[in-house]
Amino acid sequence: MKKIVSIVFVSLFALGIVLLAGFGFMQYRNQKVKKIVVHIHRNGSRGFLNEKEIKSLVQKHDTVIGKTVKAINIKKIKKDISGNPYVEAVDVFLNIFGNLRVNVTEKTPMLQVYNLQDKSCYIDMNGNLFPLSPSFAPRVLPANGYIRTRLVMGKNIRDKMYRKTTLPELYLLAKKIWKNKLLKANTSQLFVNSKGNIDMVPELGRYVIHFGDSANMDVKLENLEAFTRQVFARGVCSKYSSIQLEYTNQIVCTKK
**Could you give the CA distance from residue 197 to residue 214 in angstroms, rounded to a whole number?**
9
- In this structure, the strands spanning 240-244 and 208-212 are parallel
**Could you give the CA distance from residue 239 to residue 2 in angstroms, rounded to a whole number?**
95
Q: What are the residue boundaries of the structural domains of the chain, listed by start?
A: 35-106, 109-255
Q: Model pTM?
A: 0.83
User: How much is the pLDDT for 236?
Assistant: 57
Strand (E) or helix (H) holding 30 = none
User: How much is the pLDDT for 5?
Assistant: 47
User: How much is the pLDDT for 23?
Assistant: 37
What CATH number does the domain located at 109-255 have?
A: 3.40.50
Task: Give me the tens of pLDDT residue by residue for the chain, a chain 256 residues long.
Answer: 555 545 544 454 454 454 334 434 444 555 777 889 999 999 888 999 999 999 999 988 778 787 776 778 888 999 999 999 999 999 998 887 778 899 999 999 999 999 999 899 999 999 999 999 999 999 999 999 999 999 999 999 999 999 999 999 999 999 999 999 999 998 999 999 999 999 999 887 678 889 988 888 998 898 888 888 877 666 656 676 788 887 766 677 777 6
User: How much is the pLDDT for 32?
Assistant: 74
User: How much is the pLDDT for 106?
Assistant: 96
User: How much is the pLDDT for 247?
Assistant: 74
DSSP 8-state assignment for residue 216:
T
**Could you give the CA distance from residue 129 to residue 86 in angstroms, rounded to a whole number?**
10
Amino acid in the structure at residue 51:
E
CATH 2.70.70.10 is the classification of domain 35-106: no
User: How much is the pLDDT for 22?
Assistant: 42
Burial class (CB in 10 A: 0-12, 13-18, 19+), 56: exposed
